[in-house]
Amino acid sequence: MPELPEVETVRRDLEARVLGRTIVGCCVSPDAPRLVQLVPVAEFCRELSGRRIAGLRRRGKYLIVDLDDGRAWVIHRRMSGNVLYRPRGAPPDDYTRAVFTLDDAHELRWTDLRKFGTMWLVEDATMVMESLGPEPLDAAFTPDVLRQRAGGRSAPIKSVLLDQTVLAGMGNLYTDEALHDAGIHPLRRANTLKRADYARLHDGIVRALRTGIAARGSSLGTTLRDHINVDGAPGENQHAVQAYGREGQPCYRCGGVMRRLKVGGRSSVFCPTCQRPPRRTHPAPGRRTTPTRAPAARRRAATAVARRT
DNA sequence: AGAGTAGCCTGTAAGC
DNA sequence: TGCTTACAGGCTACTC
């Protein structure tokens, strides 16, 4: 599933291939009625045709194609969207929903099995991504910034990291990786993490994302529904993954068995030894629950979920 | 306001 | 074997 590293990999590949090229044709399949946002497909295609590609940027999981008239073609891959750069006349690709013909005898093919992907043609790219949090790979993203943005939240840290208004670009895979790297349990409430926790988490986030980019993204599961790069080849980061999808397998750090639970409806894999669960449910024998602790019912519910799997 | 969740979508895999 | 159900997940819209 495309997250920051997968979008960045495609951005870099496209920059090397289509920068300066002109879009000479546009065809959107009628079976992808939600693909083009804000304007009718006919208008979108008409306005895009004839435009030269002046730049390629990324913001969070958004890919931004800057056009020569100052407008921006913004693409969000969501779950299964891929951008392929193919010679005109190359064999068809499964689940192709749109084709953008270029002036170099190639075309950009938008493939998207689940049809969740969206694109916009706008005057200013920021209008579709106003609420995004900071870029995790910018120098301005520091442990203090992370703590300031996340530290006031009572939701599980896993859910907070997935909130794009807190931090832009993290998805389920890299969140699991970062939390494992930092030794933080996904159910820990964000407002219970200490300064040192946020320092480790910051490092874990940056490391996980950089590792992903260096490996050209993660391609798990079957090729059809997964991230592939502009030439159709998968990434390699799935071989480097420490946590995501490794339920039942040994933790690379301690050898213990990796476990899985649901956090905010998302599957989360973690090491119960390296990532200590939140405060225990049951007070030690003879001890009383102090009023400053979370209500017993809530703590019990949290641990029950953690034990279920 | 913040937290939690249904729905969008389709292919795969597990269960009966 | 064939059918049904659960699951995967980014994001929006909705409820509580």
Determine the Cα–Cα distance for residues A224 and A96; give it in Å rounded to an integer: 11
- Give the CA-to-C1' distance from A288 to C10 in angstroms: 43
Q: Which of A181, A179, A206, A212 is nearest to A193 (CA)?
A: A179
Alpha-carbon dihedral angle through residues A196, A263, A153, A143, given to the nearest 10 degrees: 30
Q: State yes or no: is A3 an active-site residue.
A: yes
pLDDT tens digits, A98-110 = 999 999 999 999 9
Handedness of CA A163, A158, A62, A115 (dihedral sign): negative
User: Which residues put CB within 7 Å of chain C, the nucleic strand?
Assistant: A 1-3, 60-61, 76, 78-80, 114, 116, 162, 164, 171-173, 244-245, 262, 265-267
| pLDDT tens digits, A267-299 | 999 999 999 988 754 333 333 333 333 333 333
pLDDT per residue as tens digits for the range A60-84: 999 999 999 999 999 999 988 999 9
Q: Is the pLDDT of residue A138 over 60?
A: yes
Is residue A120 within 8 Å of A74, Cβ to Cβ? yes
Domains A4-128 and A143-278 are alike in CATH topology: no
The length of chain A in residues reads 309
Q: Is the pLDDT of residue A225 over 80?
A: no
Q: Where are the domains of chain A?
A: 4-128, 143-278
pLDDT at A120: 94
Does the pLDDT value for residue A155 go beyond 60?
Answer: yes
Q: Which pLDDT score, from 0 to 100, does residue A113 have?
A: 87
In which order are the strands placed within the sheet that holds A81-87? A23-28, A96-102, A106-112, A81-87
The more confidently predicted of residues A53 and A236 is: A53
- CA trace torsion A57, A62, A66, A67 (10° rounding): 160
> So what's the pLDDT on residue A60?
94
CA-CA distance, A80 to A303, in Å (whole number)? 33
Question: How confident is the model at residue A29, as a pLDDT?
Answer: 93
The fold adopted by the segment(s) A4-128 is N-terminal domain of MutM-like DNA repair proteins (3.20.190)
**Of all protein residues, which has its CA closest to the C1' atom of C12?**
A116
Give nearest nucleotide to A168 (CA–C1').
C10
3-state secondary structure of A82: strand
Q: How far is the CA of A265 from the C1' of B7 (A)?
A: 13
* pLDDT of A195 strictly over 80: yes
Query: What CATH code would you report for A143-278?
Result: 1.10.8.50
